[in-house]
A and B are shown apart, each in its own frame.
Chain A
Amino acid sequence: AQSVSQHNHHVILSEAASLELGCNYSYGGTVNLFWYVQYPGQHLQLLLKYFSGDPLVKGIKGFEAEFIKSKFSFNLRKPSVQWSDTAEYFCGSLASGTYKYIFGTGTRLKVLA
């Protein structure tokens, strides 16, 4: 069965600090991977996604994620966070050929101005 683990539940950073949020999935086959973000008072929205090809995926607002198959990981990174990045971040997976999305428990990021 698929599962997604996000190890950091709460992260507090100062502006300009670098960010890396961990995400590990468990599935032996081909997966599609996603990061969604929920800003305060807003709907969940797609940040970036990986289907195939270049394992380094770039998303909106300067975020990127790297798919490392050998580590079953899809960590989210940003070199320099801003106060406006304060949000909850969800990692998700979709096993190829299925429709059942599996999401992690989320990471709440707070960026201090």
Chain B
Amino acid sequence: GAGVSQSPSNKVTEKGKDVELRCDPISGHTALYWYRQSLGQGLEFLIYFQGNSAPDKSGLPSDRFSAERTGGSVSTLTIQRTQQEDSAVYLCASQRAGVSDTQYFGPGTRLTVL
């Protein structure tokens, strides 16, 4: 079946603009994660959804970041008033059910803030 998809694959934006990144998880997967991968850094946990609920949003770097998930499926990560330090690859991963299940990653969205 189809894997995790993310769009856009690349996004170049100007500082101060808002961006919206989309993740389509594997059908039927109830758990969804967002990560950020900056140059020279590991995968930084941003947020976790179980269904449409995010039990902990403390991984979001600032209040300019927000995420939602609707219908237990698609998730969007929104960054308002983008800054140059937001430039990174944003990865989404889904899991079938429990947190210990295998994570299936998408291809990522490469965000460049000029």
B-contacting residues of A (Cβ < 8 Å)? Answer: 4, 6, 32, 36, 43-46, 49, 51, 90, 92, 94, 98-106
**B48 touching A100, Cβ below 8 Å:** yes
Kindly list the 9 A-B residue pairs having the minimum CB-CB distance in the complex, ordered from nearest: A44-B105, A103-B43, A105-B42, A99-B99, A103-B42, A43-B105, A99-B48, A46-B102, A104-B42
B91 close to chain A: CB less than 8 A: yes
| A103 partner residues in chain B, CB cutoff 8 A | 35, 42-45
**A102 touching B45, Cβ below 8 Å:** yes
**A100 touching B43, Cβ below 8 Å:** no
**B100 touching A51, Cβ below 8 Å:** yes
**A98 touching B99, Cβ below 8 Å:** yes
| B102 partner residues in chain A, CB cutoff 8 A | 46, 49
**B103 touching A101, Cβ below 8 Å:** yes
A interface secondary structure, majority:
strand
B85 close to chain A: CB less than 8 A: no
Q: How far is the CA of A110 from the CA of B42 in the complex (A)?
A: 18
**B42 touching A4, Cβ below 8 Å:** yes
| B71 partner residues in chain A, CB cutoff 8 A | none
B1 close to chain A: CB less than 8 A: no
B65 close to chain A: CB less than 8 A: no
10 interchain pairs, CB-CB under 8 A: A43-B107, A44-B91, A92-B43, A94-B100, A98-B99, A99-B48, A100-B59, A101-B43, A103-B35, A105-B40
Using A99-B48, A99-B99, A100-B56 as known contacts, say yes or no to A45 and B43 having CB atoms under 8 A apart: no
